[in-house]
Amino acid sequence: MNHMKKIILSFLFFSISLTSLNAQVKTPDEFLGYALGSRFTPHAQIVAYFKYLAGINKNIKLVDYGKTYENRDLMIAIISSKDNMDNLEQIRINNLKLSRAEKNANLNNQPAILWLSYNVHGNEASSSETSMKTLYTFAQSSVANTQDYLKNTVVIIDPCLNPDGRERYVNYFNSVSSNVPDANPSSREHTEPWPRGRVNHYYFDLNRDWAWQSQVETQQRVALYHLWMPEVHVDFHEQSYNDPYYFAPAAEPVHQDITPFQREFQITAGKNNAKYFDQNGWQYFTKERFDLLYPSYGDTYPLYNGSIGMTYEQGGISAGLAVKTASGDTLTLKDRINHHFTTSMATLETVSKNSAKLVSEFKLYFENSVASSPGIYKSYVVKADNLSRIKKLAGLLSKNHIDYAFGGEKTLNGFSFQHKKIASFKVGRNDLIINLKQPAAVLANVLFEPETKVTDSNTYDITAWALPYAYGLNAYAVKESVSGQYPAVEESPNSEATPVSPYAWVINWNSIEDAQVLIALQQANIKVRIAELTFTVAGKVYQPGSLLVYRAENEKSHKDLSNTINAIALKLNKSFAGVSSGFVDKGKDFGSSVYPLLSSPKVAVLAGSDVSSQGVGEVWHFFEQELKYPLNIISEQNLGNLDLATINVLILPDGSYAQKNIEKLEGWINQGGKIILMEDAISSVVGIKPFEIKKKEYPATSEKENRFISYGEKDKDNFEESIPGAIYKVNLDKTHPLSVGLGDVYYTLKTDGRLYEPLIKGWNVGLIKPNAFIAGVVGKNMKKKLDAGLLFGIQTVGKGNIIYLADDVLFRSFWESGKQLFVNSIFLTY
């Protein structure tokens, strides 16, 4: 088919064809030296073309907003009419005032802001190609309608949200593609190797990261987003190439805090997209598959920030330059670009035609947020049970422009997240208070409400994420308006100088920062011990898990011990306690075996095609970006040659491992190796020596219990068995080092139905007990199964250990309390 003809047909309303445009401005084809869609364009070339257009057109402004982990440029182009560009800063500031419900915000002539985000998933690669055509077309003064649209619309174009992932895909594809594209779906052009280009450098899905902002790409982009707060945001994706095109309106479940106008405008935009698709006879679907619930997507996050957030999905993952689809047609990259270009243009038309309405509804959204917050609660109070985690939670709120304060002296009644009932509590000095009387009320409520209402069980992602559970902090949802009194937490004064010559120094352990203290001490070759039991010296009670540095034991090898320790304390902003005698008032004296030496972990994680890229990426990111501790990344074929001198801790992330590889580990474990099995890595070792873990088996569902579904329901998930992601309470053995810093309860995010039998010879540190369900969608049969069983356990084998962590304790790097469990498993278990 002649695609150029199609474009001309579908864009008669732009009254031009691409070939007849302003002669002195190079088209993408002219600039790149090949026809757009005939090959994939490297990221640097896309950036170069944007710079080229901005260099010759005063109505385009480029903004660099940072670098990726692999040092590629992140940037947006802003384009509008000359008048708007001359007043761009006023427009931006006025728009921000609207988003803060400020009284002096001006509605007159305020243009709507439309933000087009291309290629958040790197291997959905047609959209960055499209972005060049979009910006080129918007920039042409001869495209009359477009120039009219830009009079009341400011367009922000991000050509590529995930340059590292996209480049991984493009490099792979360009290096394997044949001279003539091979449309055969089983050719290697359509079989992308592990870890694939969807994800960023650390294998994080950036379309799950908007609210958490764990990745630099998201951190920098969302900071920029909050400087603009667009009225409309479109996130361009691709789906399976056997599917056609999806655009809004979205599928159920739609979160109840999404307003009637937001839902209605999705229909308006969808119908205008449909008009152009209908003209061409192109297939599409709406109201299916892509729901609006989980808050970290490129559609929901803008929606919870007052925008019209929408996802557009072209069929195209793994399609290369051309692929034979199930219906026998050949889908080309040029087709995919045309479809994304069509919705880009149609959306600009929709936004422009509704610009005044969009801006006034945007204003109303934030006025309503302040006047009457959504949901049944007016405030949330999070107890400062762990100062490190409460500060991190406050940091997360700041990144999302949610207002908060600390402390008060009130006694209140509220819904207890821990006990799931109304209880009375006293507000403490460092308790974090979020009053929903604020412009960001919707986002705050979505992130904190104890239970998310879900209207349909078919959902794309997790159904529970309430931050108090993720951070492992007690909290209360309160029906009255409570305000905090202080802008920051009160730190316990570091006035007590670290003692110079005690019998032993004592260090607390309840945060990642404390792990960094241990790391610094061990890196200085200082021997560190752990207190397995509570002890009392000079009237002061020290908790199990406290770290001890005995002076005499270390002085022999460290002439300057006291100075070294003091320097570490100062550098990490900690003060260490000191005890003057090894004679303990209560508990065991310091010569007892309950104060074992901690070894210095030499850690490796496995990577490769049997490993979940998300699983290994979360471990890698945590070690490099948070813990700042060396990590070896090794591949499976090297499991036979593990040397304890170089690796004494091995992490197997979620994955499916070959028995022959697992069997190689027995000797290494026996000699003193520690292996940490995460999520489904555990399934791979069941039945293999020396692993004693057993899956919990369930009786088969009887036919009576089996619900027979009608043909009309055939596309529904088997809801009875489903668990898209729900929160369960785990009872911890708080006397075990694995649970230090967490107390006796951990809230786990369960994304599968796996439980294990308690270990007969081992420590059962984390158990699910009956009625442990806290929040989220869980099918009836699945709920019955998840009644009781083991999630976290330790087995000793010879001189070594096996640690079982059955759930993802590093989930998307936002499940903060799980990081404590993970750090304990690396440093405190021996």
Cβ nearer to Zn ion, comparing 124 with 291: 124
Least CB distance to Zn ion at residue 238 (A): 6
CB nearer to Zn ion: pick between 237 and 529? 237
Question: Which residues, other chains included, contact 43 with Cβ-Cβ below 8 Å and sequence gap of 6+?
Answer: 72, 73, 128, 160, 163, 166, 167, 170
Distance CA 96, CA 70 (A): 32
Residue nearest to Zn ion (CB): 237
Nearer to Zn ion, 246 or 595 (CB): 246
Residue 397: which residues within 8 A CB-CB, separation 6 or more?
403, 404, 434, 444
Residue closer to Zn ion (CB basis): 124 or 243: 124
Q: Classify strands 577-579 and 603-607 as parallel, antiparallel or unpaired.
A: unpaired
Cβ neighbourhood burial of 158 (10 Å; 0-12, 13-18, 19+): buried
Shortest separation between residue 293's beta carbon and Zn ion, angstroms: 17
Q: Does 340 bind Zn ion (CB under 5 A)?
A: no
In the bound state with Zn ion, the residue whose beta carbon lies nearer, of 57 and 273, is: 273
238 vs 692, beta carbon nearer Zn ion: 238
Note the maximum CA span of the chain: 91
Q: Spell out where 538-683 has E strands.
A: 540-542, 547-550, 577-579, 603-607, 632-635, 649-652, 674-678
Please check whether residue 464 is in contact with residue 775, taking contact to mean a CB–CB distance below 8 angstroms. Answer: yes
HSE toward the beta carbon, residue 246, CA cutoff 13 A = 24
- Least separation, in Å, of the C-beta of 173 and Zn ion? 17
What is the signed CA dihedral for 761, 767, 770, 771, rounded to 10 degrees?
180
Nearest by Cα to 247 from 301, 299, 318, 305: 299
Peptide bond into 249 cis (omega under 30): yes
Complex with Zn ion: residue 237 or 812, whichever CB lies closer = 237
The contact pattern for Zn ion, residues 226-245, with x = CB under 5 A and - = no contact, is -----------x--------
Distance CA 648, CA 600 (A): 9
**Nearest distance from C-beta of residue 207 to Zn ion, angstroms:** 6
β-sheet bridge partners, residue 577: 506
Q: The dihedral of CA 459, 464, 467, 470: what is its sign?
A: negative
Cβ of residue 121: shortest distance to Zn ion, in angstroms?
4
| Shortest distance, position 397 Cβ to Zn ion, whole Å | 27
How many Cβ atoms sit within 10 Å of the Cβ of residue 771?
10
Q: Which is nearer to Zn ion, 190 or 237 (CB)?
A: 237
For Zn ion, the closer of residues 205 and 385 by Cβ is 205
Scanning the structure block, which residue is given the tokens 């027979």? Answer: 708
Interface pattern 105-144 for Zn ion (x via CB under 5 A): ----------------x--x--------------------
Alpha carbons within 13 angstroms on the beta-carbon side of residue 476 total 23
Q: Residue 126 or 445: which CB sits closer to Zn ion? A: 126
Q: Do 116 and 155 touch, CB atoms closer than 8 A?
A: yes
Interface contacts to Zn ion, rule CB under 5 A: 121, 124, 237
